[in-house]
Amino acid sequence: MGVQDLNNRFQYKRDSEQYGLQERWAILRNPEGPLVGDCEDYALTALWMLKGKDDAALHQSLKTGEAKIWFCYTPNGEAHAVLEFNGKLIDNIQKEWVSLSDLKAKGYEMSRPFTYKEVVLRLNAGNVGVMPGQLKENSNKKVFGLVGIAVAVGVIIWLVS
């Protein structure tokens, strides 16, 4: 399972430092140069790379349970996210595939995997620059409307410049 490119280019930066938000989930899509993000970004980007940089395949993997994003605590008690794929786990701290028992032996406290709906909600919130709690699970029309507005504004800025 190759995520070597991600490991080589990943630079950890808290969302509060990078975006001024407490939390923002994103897939790091920079084709060259550094991939800057936090633990959720690492987990999502690792899965995206494993699935051939295919968004639909990433979503299918999460829907079917082939992949999971776990909420857990690091050995020093910080909230953290870890990717599980085909029974193995990886995160931006270990940067290698390990078993669940290996992580627990290193002091990780596994809480629960995020549901597919939770992951989608957080990704959509990140795409429009709001906190996940600002969106409700049943507000898909609102989310897609905000994404459309954000894209339209981006196109207008690009045309004017």
pLDDT in tens, 6-39: 999 999 999 999 988 888 999 999 989 999 999 9
Global confidence as pTM? 0.80
SS3 state of residue 33: coil
| Same structural domain, 41 and 67 | yes
- What range defines the domain where residue 138 resides? 116-161
Structure confidence by residue, pLDDT tens digits, 95-142: 999 999 999 999 999 999 999 999 999 998 877 666 555 544 444 444
Residue type, 96: E
* Judgement on whether residues 61 and 131 belong to the same structural domain of the protein: no
Looking at the fold, whether 136 and 146 belong to one and the same domain comes out as: yes
Residues 6+ apart with CB under 8 A from 64: none
The pLDDT tens digits for 45-101 are 999 999 999 999 999 999 999 999 999 999 999 999 999 999 999 999 999 999 999
Residues 87 and 152 in one domain: no
Q: Domain total for the chain?
A: 2
Do 150 and 110 lie in one domain? The reply is no
